[in-house]
Amino acid sequence: MGRSLNILGCGRVGRALGSLFVRHSIFSRVTVCNRTPESSRRAAAFVPKAKAVDSIAEMPPCDAWMIASADSAVQEAAQLLVAQQSLVEGNLVFHVSGAQSSEVLEPLRARGARLGSLHPVRSIASPELVVTSFTGTACAIEGDESARAELRTMVEAIGGKPFEVDSRAKMICHAGHVFASNYLVTVVDVARRLYEEAGIPVEVAETMLPPIVRGTVENVCALGTTEALTGPVVRGDASLVERQLSALSEVNPEIASLYRELVRHATVIAERRGHLPEEAVEALRRIQAGQGA
């Protein structure tokens, strides 16, 4: 018969992981339940060997439950699940949220469930793309010992790279992902707004951004952040930093304040690289503190 998986909330991540688990023979039967029947049917059409049901009460007994609904709905899903007959002792129940730990599933422990979380560390916009390019994706795992062991085996089987994260550190680890992905995009958007402010035509800005962003990301990946940083801070050019900050304050004080904060963190990198004279570091610190070079 093979092992079976129930997916509560089968959106982008649910579709991607569900498909990978079936393709790699971890599970041979899948049942999905979303908020609306239409959405459940669309998800079941995507995941091989999957069928859709209209409510959690219709989900059959299974070996594992994956809760892949939005972060805010994980707790509610756990509360609904605790009342289901189909949940049986020894079931693995895991969610895929990066920010929450498996503690949110705690009510299910009294029903004999093994609790964990499996967070694929990548931006999943298209499940189609992820299914064909999952190999090497880091996956954070935490939870009960036996849940962790099973999740590790599952991740390895689909080509992922499992690593364990402490339940209490999950939120901070996720904040790192938010900076590496979401705020990277945000900072690039700030650059786009400054080009606009400088009167650069949109079509020119669109040709400028890809090479500078791609080149920077490639440098970070190839050299690491300490060696990849270029620009006035790492050159110790405090006078340029001060003039740039003053120009920015005139056109957009909010962006100037972001620039000032980033000078602080770029100075940390410059110090780590260890080639700047102490006076340059001091001047950058004074500018950062609003005291001028």
Ligand X SMILES: NC(=O)c1ccc[n+]([C@@H]2O[C@H](COP(=O)([O-])OP(=O)(O)OC[C@H]3O[C@@H](n4cnc5c(N)ncnc54)[C@H](OP(=O)(O)O)[C@@H]3O)[C@@H](O)[C@H]2O)c1
Structure-token pair, residue 173 = 């680890």
| Whole-number Cα distances in Å, 149 to 85, 142, 153 | 26, 10, 6
Q: How many CB atoms lie within 10 A of CB 116?
A: 26
Could you tell me how many residues of this chain bind ligand X (CB under 6 A)?
A: 25
β-pair type (138-143, 114-120):
antiparallel
Q: Which stretch binds ligand X (CB under 6 A): 8-16, 23-31, 47-55, 160-168?
A: 8-16
Per rule CB under 6 A, is residue 8 in the interface with ligand X? Answer: yes
| Binds ligand X (CB under 6 A): choice among 18, 98, 160, 236 | 98
* 49-68 footprint of ligand X as x/- string (CB under 6 A): -------------------x
| Smallest gap from residue 72 Cβ to ligand X (A) | 8
Residue (60 or 201) nearer to ligand X, CB: 60
Kindly identify the residues of this chain, within the stretch 110-169, that bind ligand X according to CB under 6 A. 119-120, 123-124
Residue (9 or 236) nearer to ligand X, CB: 9
DSSP alpha helix (H) spans, the chain = 12-23, 37-46, 74-82, 127-132, 145-157, 170-177, 184-197, 202-223, 225-228, 232-235, 238-251, 253-273, 278-288
Per rule CB under 6 A, is residue 39 in the interface with ligand X? Answer: yes
Residues 6 or more apart whose CB falls under 8 angstroms from that of 79 comprise 107
| Smallest gap from residue 60 Cβ to ligand X (A) | 17
| Binds ligand X (CB under 6 A): choice among 9, 18, 116, 236 | 9
Total residue length of the chain: 293
Q: Which stretch binds ligand X (CB under 6 A): 2-10, 23-31, 104-112, 161-169?
A: 2-10
| Smallest gap from residue 61 Cβ to ligand X (A) | 19
Name the site residues for ligand X (rule: CB under 6 A).
Answer: 8-14, 34-36, 39, 68-71, 73, 76-77, 96-98, 119-120, 123-124
